[in-house]
Amino acid sequence: SAVISQKPSRDICQRGTSLTIQCQVDSQVTMMFWYRQQPGQSLTLIATANQGSEATYESGFVIDKFPISRPNLTFSTLTVSNMSPEDSSIYLCSARQGAYTGELFFGEGSRLTVL
Amino acid sequence: LAKTTQPISMDSYEGQEVNITCSHNNIATNDYITWYQQFPSQGPRFIIQGYKTKVTNEVASLFIPADRKSSTLSLPRVSLSDTAVYYCLVGDSLTSGTYKYIFGTGTRLKVLA
């Protein structure tokens, strides 16, 4: 199993600023992903965080807006840049030990409110 | 791109068995089917995973027919604490050869006393 810790758990931000969310896994994992969940909605995959290389972004998400780092097998960051109220959401980090199958573990999420 | 379709919501009473069916017509031959549970203000939590026929663990059973175009999550004797959103996931291959998981709309289960 894997335990995922995210920081911050919540924050209130001003329009135009940027915020970096940190994700720490207590064991080495093959795959790490970042999701966004708006209130009452399902989870939307933002990107796959690749260790030592650029993240793989889903349609509708770009690196300039959501830069992602993954320096090793246990840590990743997601930055939400130049925030607007539309970015208010819960951002979730997830990880899987296997490349193809296995349980996808989730952090508790980071709730961002942009004023 | 594998996609899943589930009922938007279901109601049940305590003590009943609940069956939630998910359609996944475009599932690949080596995809696993996985179900997650999510409570408000929490990250999703793994329930069960299967490839074919039937899988059972301490909390649920998963039934997958031979054509694998659907799957059914069965929750025996639900309680009020089972009120949550349930998601069915299948893998989606990345160009790197690994898999990502796309979440569908989920089924909002409400258990009534």
Q: Does A1 touch chain B (CB under 8 A)?
A: no
> Strand A31-37 to strand A89-96: parallel, antiparallel, or no bridges (unpaired)?
antiparallel
Q: What angle do CA A6, A11, A16 make, to 5 degrees?
A: 115
- Predicted confidence at residue B105, as pLDDT, reads 86
Residue recorded with tokens 């490349």: A99
Nearest to A13 by CA among A5, A22, A21: A21
Between B42, B94, B102, which is nearest A56 by CB?
A: B94
- Which pLDDT tens digit goes with each residue over B34-92? 999 999 889 999 999 998 899 999 999 999 999 999 999 999 999 999 999 999 988 76
> Strand A104-106 to strand A4-7: parallel, antiparallel, or no bridges (unpaired)?
unpaired
Between B32, B41, B100, which is nearest A48 by CB?
A: B100
CA distance A105 to chain B (A): 7
Integer Cα distance of A70 and A64 in angstroms: 16
Q: CA neighbours within 13 Å on the CB side: how many for A30? A: 14
Integer Cα distance of A38 and B71 in angstroms: 27
Integer Cα distance of A57 and A68 in angstroms: 10
Cis peptide before A8 (omega within 30 of 0): yes
DSSP conformational letter for A58: P
Q: Do A109 and B42 touch (CB under 8 A)?
A: yes
What percent of chain A is predicted at pLDDT more than 70? 98
The pLDDT-based confidence of A27 (bands split at 50, 70, 90) is very high
Between A31, A45, A99, which is nearest B102 by CB?
A: A45
In angstroms, what CA-CA distances link A22 with A49, A80, A87, B50? 12, 11, 17, 32
